[in-house]
Amino acid sequence: MLRHFFHLGRAYFELDHRQAKAYLWLLFFTAAIVCSPLFTYYLYPAPYNLDNVKLILEETEEKDSLSGSSDTHKSIALFRKHIDEMREEDWIAAGLPAYLSKRILKYQDKVRPLKKIKDLYAIYGMDSSRVAQVKPFLVEQEQKVSTPQKRVKKQPSLIVLDINSADSLALEALPAIGPVLSKRILKYRELLKGYASKKQYAEIYGISPEALAVLQKWTEIKEVPVVSSIKTADYKKLNDHFYLSGKDARYITAQLKIKALCWEELKSGLEPKAQEHIDELKLYYPCE
């Protein structure tokens, strides 16, 4: 028969002698693997029958139930306990067999405590008849319904800050002002050589209406930063200010060499940006 498969493999698949021999060994190992469970079943039979085991377990439970019921039917004294306070003897006294009372205690210990009578249905073997049997002996655990209390956020105590001396941490303590905005406030203060008016807060890049209102309410300008008198200011002092350009600085210095003027006479020759902030420039470079 093996020789027949050998010649069949060579003729049908057009194999040489070595390939046909390998093909034959492959068939042999495949058949051995497929049939190995059958050989194992017959060579090593099960030492017992599963049906017999189920029958033995059922008989054991019936004996336990009979022994438990015989003890409890002698005298059952009615008592009432909380379901989480029941002990093994209490469950037996309530009419449950010993194996089922142990199962209830094990469930409470390993899974979760019992709080309501309907929680007994989660235990294997506790059907509606068993629950109805023990219900007269049980008192459900009272659950206190707690009404959620609204948390009132305490507003931090705020103090009015001097805008020209406050640091970033003090500014971040104000509502609606974060780290990014506080850095922008300080950077713009450096460009202006200090804030001279609260109107300048609106010029800060990216400030929101809420943050602007907070700054106007919780900050003050204790001292106006004076750079220099306009009559003694040179080109460098004028050109360093954010509101003035190099052209403005050259124009002012040239006019001051000719005649001692003030901002009213100089305004017409300034750039539009400087003309727009002429009131602030009067504070930075006073005429007196």
Q: Which pLDDT score is estimated for 1? A: 61
Instruction: Express each pLDDT in 73-121 by its tens digit.
Output: 444 556 788 888 888 888 888 888 999 888 888 888 888 888 888 888 8
Instruction: Express each pLDDT in 142-184 by its tens digit.
Output: 544 455 566 655 555 778 999 999 999 999 999 989 999 999 9
- Cα 114 to Cα 83: distance, rounded to the nearest angstrom: 6
Please choose, from the candidates 91, 73, 71, 92, the residue with its C-alpha nearest in 3D space to the C-alpha of residue 83. 91
Architecture in CATH of 161-220: Orthogonal Bundle (1.10)
- The pTM (predicted TM-score) of the whole model is 0.46
How long a stretch of residues is the chain? Answer: 288
Where are the chain's structural domains? Answer: 2-43, 55-139, 161-220, 235-284
The answer to which of 24-38, 40-54, 194-208, 255-269 has the lowest mean pLDDT is: 40-54
User: Is the fold of 55-139 the same as that of 161-220?
Assistant: yes
Average pLDDT over residues 235-262: 89
Give the DSSP letter string of 113-169: ---SGGGGGGSTT--HHHHHHHGGGEEPPP---PPPPPPPPPPPP---EETTT--HH
Average pLDDT over residues 33-62: 63
Architecture in CATH of 55-139: Orthogonal Bundle (1.10)
